Amino acid sequence: MQKQTVQLIGVPTDIGAGARGASMGPEALRVAGLAAVLESHDLQVHDIGNLPGPANPWLPPDQGYRHLKEVEQWNQTLHDAVHAALARDHLPMVLGGDHCLGIGSISAVARHCRETGKTLRVLWLDAHADFNTAELTPSGNVHGMPVAVLCGHGPKELTGIGGTTPAISPSVVRQIGIRSVDEGEKRFVHKHGLEVFDMRYIDEKGMRHTMEQALAGMDDNTHLHVSFDVDFLDPEIAPGVGTTVPGGPTYREAQLCMEMIADTGRMASMDVMELNPALDVRNRTALVAVDLIESLFGKSTLMRKG
């Protein structure tokens, strides 16, 4: 059998973030040994390097958005790269970069699913729902908006990326680890019926039950996309992110989450977002991220016989 190829796509920008530094994320993941770890699991790794894009002008919001033109440009370039990777039967792994890049990545995955008749499921691992709009957020940072944009709410420059608006329906999304949502955003999430497994749910039901629910209903035709915002993790184990929120999943809970995703065998694309080396301690957060990615690809801590 031919080896699965993982295509690493570096997107060195913090164009949608509220703090500078996520632009260094792709290199930090490489330095943490990402490629070697994947190769040790019998995967072929094709690192295409970093995509090009505009510099971050670091301006205040203009009509509700910061850097809309640059955000559009980065996401269009990423959309094309992810779509091309999927067309070659590669598994694209987007190395962010801030989470506004979920727009380009997931719109490409959704387009690929439409073209191939696959059913899309998106797991959004994050401390935040990222379901803001310009009306709801004062900051104008687009990294708080990608899920809303993908569901068709936002500026047409972004909602139109990929050619179909909306790119996805809220019904394909399962959000896990959420613990920081403002009031207006919360109402908007409820209105659109996004399925959210917040930290209270994980506390009460446990990660195992949470993941069983989030992964339920998939079949052989499902394309599973994992959008992993590193701030999903508790800041105790992952300090190197721009927007830390206490009370996230522990190392063990995160491992279980990743292992249960691996068990499905359905993951066909992913993002690793918001790693900010400027805020990290000796690349510790990148190393934890790589460790968890390894579990996504089948490293098992299981000792008992299957």
The binding site consists of: 99, 126, 128, 130, 229, 231
Binding residues for Mn(2+), by number, are 99, 126, 128, 130, 229, 231
Residue 72 is a binding residue for Mn ion (CB under 5 A)? no
Please pick, from the candidates 70, 185, 229, 234, the single residue that binds Mn ion as defined by CB under 5 A.
Answer: 229
Alpha-carbon span 223 to 257, nearest angstrom? 18
> What number of other Cβ atoms are within 10 A of residue 261's Cβ?
23
Alpha-carbon span 293 to 295, nearest angstrom? 5
Residue 130 is a binding residue for Mn ion (CB under 5 A)? yes
Alpha-carbon span 53 to 57, nearest angstrom? 12
Query: Cβ distance 49 to 10 under 8 Å?
Result: yes
Annotated active-site residue 128? The verdict is: yes
- To Mn ion, the closest distance from the beta carbon of 117 in angstroms equals 29
DSSP 68-88: HHHHHHHHHHHHHHHHHHHHT
Residue 99 is a binding residue for Mn ion (CB under 5 A)? yes
The stretch near Mn ion (CB under 5 A) out of 79-87, 99-107, 170-178, 297-305 is: 99-107
Residue 67 sits at the vertex; the CA angle it makes with 66 and 71, to the nearest 5 degrees, is 115
Catalytic residue among 70, 130, 280, 294: 130
Q: Which amino acid is at 189?
A: V
State the pairing for strand pair 5-11/44-50. Answer: parallel
The stretch near Mn ion (CB under 5 A) out of 44-52, 57-65, 119-127, 256-264 is: 119-127
Annotated active-site residue 234? The verdict is: no
DSSP 49-63: EEPP---------BT
Positions 7 through 26 that interact with Mn ion (CB under 5 A) = none
Annotated active-site residue 126? The verdict is: yes
Please pick, from the candidates 72, 126, 259, 291, the single residue that binds Mn ion as defined by CB under 5 A.
Answer: 126
Positions 261 through 300 that interact with Mn ion (CB under 5 A) = none
Q: Which is nearer to Mn ion, 118 or 121 (CB)?
A: 121
The dihedral sign for the CA sequence 136, 243, 14, 269:
negative
Annotated active-site residue 89? The verdict is: no
Annotated active-site residue 229? The verdict is: yes
The site for Mn ion, by CB under 5 A, has a size of 4
Catalytic residue among 99, 112, 153, 223: 99
- To Mn ion, the closest distance from the beta carbon of 62 in angstroms equals 22
Positions 142 through 171 that interact with Mn ion (CB under 5 A) = none
Q: Which amino acid is at 16?
A: G
Residue 131: strand, helix, or coil: coil
Q: Which residues are catalytic?
A: 99, 126, 128, 130, 143, 229, 231, 274
Q: Which residues contact Mn ion by CB under 5 A?
A: 99, 126, 130, 229
